[in-house]
Each structure stands twice: as C-alpha cells, then as structure tokens.
Amino acid sequence: MEEIKKDKEIKTLEDVVTHYCPGCGHGIVHRLVADAIDRLEIREKTIGIAPIGCSVLIYNYLNVDFQEVPHGRAPAAATGIKRAQPDKVVFTYQGDGDLASIGTAEIVHAANRGENITVIFINNAVYGMTGGQMAPTTLLKQKTTTSPYGRNANIAGFPLRVCELLSSLDGVAYLERVSVSSPKNVMKAKRAIRHAFEVQLAKKGFSLVEVLSQCPMNWRMGSIDSVRWVDEVMSKTFPLKKFKDVEIS
C-alpha cells in the first residue's frame, strides 16, 4: 500500500481554509485530484475547468490553471482547450446538476467524440449550492426542497445513472463509480482518479470517474449518518463498479 501524503506535502493543493460545509465530500475529492496531479507530475501542464455549483471555487484549492465556464458546458470548453492544446492535461470537475441535468448534451457528446479529457463527476443526489433542491440523481422517495413529499417517479422520473448511460458509447475509454464514504473507499477513489488521468496521458480517450459524495447539510443528516447513507442507500441505486477500462500499454 502506498504511503499517505500529508496535505502540505501535496504541491497541487493550496494551503487555504475550506469553505465547504462540515462532512462534505468535495474536500476529499479535491485532495485526491491534487494527489493524482502531483504523483503524475503534470501540475504545470494541467488545465482544470470549474463547474457552476458548490465546487465552482475549486480553483481556490488547486494550484493549476483554471477556466470557469457556464453551467453544464465544461465538457464543451474542455474540448476547445484540449483541441487547442493537445499536449496538455485537461479535466473537468462537475456536480450532478451541472453534468447530469443542464449539461447532459455536452457530456454525452464529449464522451461520444472520445475527447481525450478526464471528468470528475461528483454525485451527491442534490443541488448543494442553491439549497438542496432535487437533482437528476436524487433517489426515489428522497426528500429535497423541491421534492418535499419524496421523489415520485410519476412526477419527476427516475434517478439518472450516468455511468450506465455512457458505458455504451464507443468513445469512452474508462468509466468507474466510486465513493468517499470510508477510508477503504477513499483509497479506491484515489486509484480510480489517478487511473483516469493516466488514461488521458496514454491518449486513450474519454475517462470519467463518478464519485458518490455526501452532502450532510442538504441531506439534513449528521456526518456519520451521511456516509452510512451513501453505503446503505445511495449505492443500491448507484452500484460502485468499474464499467469500462481500456488497456494502457
């Protein structure tokens, strides 16, 4: 097992105070992305794209170039960056509202073109920044501020499974769903995120890691309950697994 670095040892991670709520999964995933960039020694050639949502401020945490683009359009902007600078490493960091609701067209088509980019997709089943409204990934019966009686499939359809949806596309090289609900799962997520960047470096095509992440604030839960909910409830609808992985020679 590889050694765990302290935060201060990760060069890509800025030494700043977090703005995320207690128990939020974003901080962990930011750290994992920074760690991958560090270990692959790609900090100086990486360009990130920030989404609209809680993690719009990701550029305050990672010491790489960033573009902040309209809601849901990160895969399109990433396409523009990667085509203009094919030798650079380009990644988007998107939440479920950004990627799976307003940006479904952009993510599907970037994946289908096999854009050689990496997508970190944070699925916490809720709109965080705007105050806990229903997301496309909100579970059936899950209560949110816009599904106060619980998500009803007759009214609001079903939770959208992004990995399953994208897995049929030929342009996709690597697709895995992980979570950050326990140290063990964090380590798995860490390997997945690093692998996604490796797939890009090997020019194999589109890579996406979906991270089930906890949002205790908007789930109206304590931190412990929220990670338990990821394991016991959320991952029933969104099973953790590797959907696709091309070989890297």
Which C-beta is closer to another protein: that of 92 or that of 142? Answer: 92
Residue from 5, 39, 40, 67 that binds another protein (CB under 8 A)? 67
Is residue 176 close enough to count as binding another protein by CB under 8 A? no
How many chain residues touch another protein (CB under 8 A)?
Answer: 34
Is residue 39 close enough to count as binding another protein by CB under 8 A? no
In the window 203-242, what residues touch another protein (CB under 8 A)?
none
Is residue 77 close enough to count as binding another protein by CB under 8 A? yes
CB of 62 to another protein, least distance (A): 8
Handedness of CA 31, 36, 37, 38 (dihedral sign): positive
> Element (H or E) spanning 10, and its range?
none
Is residue 65 close enough to count as binding another protein by CB under 8 A? yes
CB of 124 to another protein, least distance (A): 21
Q: How do 65-68 and 89-95 pair as beta strands?
A: unpaired
Three-class DSSP category at 189: helix
Residue in 245, 239, 241, 248 with CA at minimum distance from that of residue 174: 245
CB of 179 to another protein, least distance (A): 29
Is residue 46 close enough to count as binding another protein by CB under 8 A? yes
Residue 236: phi and psi, rounded to 5, are -75, -40
Is residue 54 close enough to count as binding another protein by CB under 8 A? no
Residue from 24, 54, 78, 209 that binds another protein (CB under 8 A)? 78
Residue from 10, 50, 119, 180 that binds another protein (CB under 8 A)? 50
Residue 160 near residue 137, CB atoms below 8 Å: yes
Beta-sheet strands, E only, within the chain:
46-50, 65-68, 89-95, 118-123, 126-127, 133-134, 172-179, 206-212, 242-245
- In order of 8, 103, 166, 169, 218, the CA distances from 207 in angstroms are 28, 17, 10, 12, 29
Is residue 201 close enough to count as binding another protein by CB under 8 A? no
Residue from 82, 177, 190, 195 that binds another protein (CB under 8 A)? 82
In the window 92-151, what residues touch another protein (CB under 8 A)?
105-106, 108-109, 113
The set of residues, in sequence order, having a beta carbon less than 8 Å from that of 44 and lying 6+ positions away, is none
| Residue ranges binding another protein (CB under 8 A) | 43-47, 49-50, 56, 59, 63-70, 73, 76-85, 88, 105-106, 108-109, 113
